[in-house]
Structure 1
């Protein structure tokens, strides 16, 4: 059989979207997800996104990183899926139910409430997540935030000066983080703007990370460095992040469809059908 896909991106963070909401497809596992995501022998993407029926929301979104690991949330993928869906929707994820809707400047996503307690990140042992007493060379005293998935944020004078390709995987896989960690290096530009680079757990350096932008903005707000609504500038473009008074994080930014196609399921070892939902 052949499986249809839609290739999409949010600020250069790219996705292969498989839609199983109306008709089932063979069960996707880590091996198949990594094979599809491979940029040399597969379709190529940062994340594979699978849409399925949901009993608690309009539909369910599952997200697999390029290494095949399944993750709780992805802000850029949610905007892409919101664009594909075409109207306001509540979306079930491993990180909780979130909402996406069309906005004047793209797609607005209500990402839920941030979490700060050490075992909600999670960390391996109790620690003050507001200023963690740890360091990896020049990267020190991060703030940890969970916005559906875990992030450590380091505020630095110049994001470009950090060798994130080298330090990112070291921090991601440190024993302090039992579920690994997304690594963010951020520079405060003004009360309304932040510059950000992200080493994404399971994907590596990325042009944009929506949850990273949310976590970094919340971390900067907690430390009193910026206002409650900021622009986060990533290598792929800018996102607007607002932390509303009710505690909800709202991320707004563009998404785009690149192309559509299909592939031979057997070429990726997909034979047996799973049960969607």
Structure 2
């Protein structure tokens, strides 16, 4: 069976998008997601995105990491599928319903409200999530935020100097995080700007992470390190994060279609 796909990216965080809203696609197994995501023997991507019909929104978005695991939310992918949809949309995700709006500055996504409770992250046991009394090597006293998926954020003098290749997987898989965790290291530039690197659970280092930018901005705002509107500079480029008085997060940034194609499903099933 030939299946069409669209290759997209948001600031270099790239996706294979399979559109099953009007076409019945074969069941997507974790092993299929792994093979498609492989950059040497498949198409290659940071996440595989599956669009499906929804009873509560314009469509449903499912997100699979390169290791085959399914995750709750992806900010960059939300912008990408908003661009693919071509107009404002409500999008159902496992982390809740979000909305995407077309603007002159790119795609603005209402990411909903953040959660801070230790059991909403979730953590293995109760603690203050604004300044957690834990550490790994040089990284200490992080904040934790759930913005549809779980993030832990460390504020450091120079995020580029942190050995994320070693500390990222160690923290991601620590027993403190029963559902694993996305790891962010951030440097505050001033009241309106942050530099950020992200280790994504199930994917590794990434050029951009929309939910990571949201979580980091919110953590910095809660610590009064930045204003309620901030630009987060990732290796792939900047994202604008705003936290409104209604507690809802808006993320604005670009999305791009790279190319379209088709694949033989039987080769990856």
What TM-score do you get using the length of structure 1 for normalisation? 0.97
Gaps of 5+ in 1: 270-277
1:235-268 C-alpha deviation (Å, 9 max, x unpaired): 0000000000001000000000000000001001
Matching residue of 2:16: 16
Residues 1:262 and 2:262 aligned together: yes
Matching residue of 1:31: 31
1:101-140 equivalences in 2 (<5 Å):
101-140=101-140
1:184-221 C-alpha deviation (Å, 9 max, x unpaired): 00000000000000000100000000000000000000
Matching residue of 2:191: 191
Gaps of 5+ in 2: none
CA distance in structure 2 between the aligned counterparts of 1:186 and 1:96, rounded to whole angstroms: 26
User: How many residues are paired up?
Assistant: 269
CA distance in structure 2 between the aligned counterparts of 1:82 and 1:235, rounded to whole angstroms: 22
SS of the residue 2:119 aligns to: helix
SS of the residue 1:202 aligns to: coil
How well do the aligned residues superpose, as a CA RMSD in angstroms? 0.4
SS of the residue 1:100 aligns to: strand
CA distance in structure 1 between the aligned counterparts of 2:87 and 2:29, rounded to whole angstroms: 29
1:42-70 C-alpha deviation (Å, 9 max, x unpaired): 00000000000000000000000111100
1:86-120 C-alpha deviation (Å, 9 max, x unpaired): 00000000000000010111100000000000000
Q: CA deviation at 1:20?
A: 0.3
SS of the residue 2:39 aligns to: coil
Residues 1:79 and 2:50 aligned together: no
CA distance in structure 2 between the aligned counterparts of 1:29 and 1:264, rounded to whole angstroms: 15
CA distance in structure 2 between the aligned counterparts of 1:181 and 1:103, rounded to whole angstroms: 31
CA distance in structure 1 between the aligned counterparts of 2:227 and 2:57, rounded to whole angstroms: 32
CA distance in structure 1 between the aligned counterparts of 2:3 and 2:266, rounded to whole angstroms: 10
Matching residue of 1:242: 242
What TM-score do you get using the length of structure 2 for normalisation? 1.00
